[in-house]
DNA sequence: GCAACTTCCATGATATATCATACATCCTTT
DNA sequence: AAAGGATGTATGATATATCATGGAAGTTGC
């Protein structure tokens, strides 16, 4: 039964956290989604990643990243500069407005995390992380034998 | 920094698990999504819930439940019988085909959970659950004072 | 320098999440 | 019974997730 309810607790916690975090951003009057913020943040730190590489860092697939980038570009938080040496790609640049949004969201994200983790010790966090990573790796190589 | 990466681990674990679980259902040749299965399962156990009540049990909102029910009904896994005493509602009934799908998916779900949690002790699961519940409650009452 | 392969991105189709709203139906109060 | 409020459902708009595919551009082997 523990086994049974664990994934409920997981879903429950993550969904609640996401709703909570988004609500706090909304309440601050900042028009960006958490997912868009994540992508923008990654691009700020490394502007020469492919969409697939960005996706790896935020656990999204390339298609999702492409659409998020399109939205960020449409809102002028991100600008695409063609790369001369590779016609398939463009270099992403966070615009001044994008930087403003990042700066505005940053303290909210920190506060969200702090609130969400209130009462959890460092040891708790480590335990949690280790167990979650274990679940991740357990799900990574499919169990079925070669056919 | 622990704080920092925890939510990454959370996202990572849950997304991986969902992909893993869905892949195993797909591989078994069963045409249903995990979310549809969840809703169908809840309805089987209790066929006189409102969409909002179903949503509470699977952490979805009423709109999502409505759409999932529409899909299940369209695939004849679920049938809607009007309730005589309340014209707004219909009673949901899992069809024979729906029951077949539930039965087929059940062992896969059990095996998915077992695989995902391999190597975690009961104590680990309890710890995990307690910590996740704590995150949930931490995010539940917004921190800001009444206005 | 061309064919085959690979990489990168865009996009269609479908499912879900969220918010908001519309609509019908019920219930309560007077 | 009529008005007002509450409840249950459907649906629009937008964002994301996933799979699949198409097309452009790069690379490799010959």
Boundaries of every domain in chain B: 2-138
CA B11, chain centre distance (Å):
16
For residue B18, give the chain A residue with the closest CA: A139
Topology of the domain covering B2-138: Arc Repressor Mutant, subunit A (1.10.10)
How many angstroms is C1' of D12 away from CA of B67? 13
Structure tokens, B103? 């039965």
Contact A32, A103 (CB under 8 A): no
Which has the closest alpha carbon to B135: A105, A7, A15, A28?
Answer: A15
pLDDT at A145: 39
Which residues, in sequence order, are bridge partners of residue A81?
A: A91
DSSP one-letter code for A111:
H
Q: Does the beta-carbon distance from B116 to A131 stay under 8 Å?
A: no
Higher pLDDT, B35 or B82: B35
Give average pLDDT by consecutive 10-residue segment, chain A, 147 residues.
75 93 94 96 93 95 97 95 86 95 95 94 93 93 44
* Out of B2, B138, B144, closest to residue A126 by CB: B2
At residue B35 the predicted structure's pLDDT band, cuts being 50, 70 and 90, is: very high
- Structure tokens belonging to residue A122: 């460092």
Q: Which tops the pLDDT comparison, B119 or B146?
A: B119
Say which of B2, B15, B132 has its CB closest to residue A13: B132
- Nucleic acid strand C within 7 Å of A68 CB: no
């Amino acid at each position: 039964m523990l086994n049974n309810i664990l994934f409920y607790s997981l879903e429950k916690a993550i969904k609640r956290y996401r709703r909570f975090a988004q609500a706090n951003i909304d309440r601050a009057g900042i028009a960006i989604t958490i997912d868009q913020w994540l992508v923008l943040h990654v691009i700020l730190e490394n502007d020469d990643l492919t969409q697939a590489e960005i996706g790896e860092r935020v656990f999204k697939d390339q298609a999702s990243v492409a659409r998020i980038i399109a939205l960020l570009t449409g809102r002028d938080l991100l600008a695409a500069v063609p790369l001369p040496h590779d016609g398939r790609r463009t270099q992403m640049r966070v615009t001044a407005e994008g930087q403003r949004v990042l700066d505005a969201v940053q303290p909210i994200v920190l506060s969200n995390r702090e609130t969400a983790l209130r009462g959890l010790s460092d040891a708790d966090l480590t335990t949690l992380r280790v167990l979650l990573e274990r679940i991740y790796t357990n799900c990574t190589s499919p169990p079925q034998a070669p056919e």
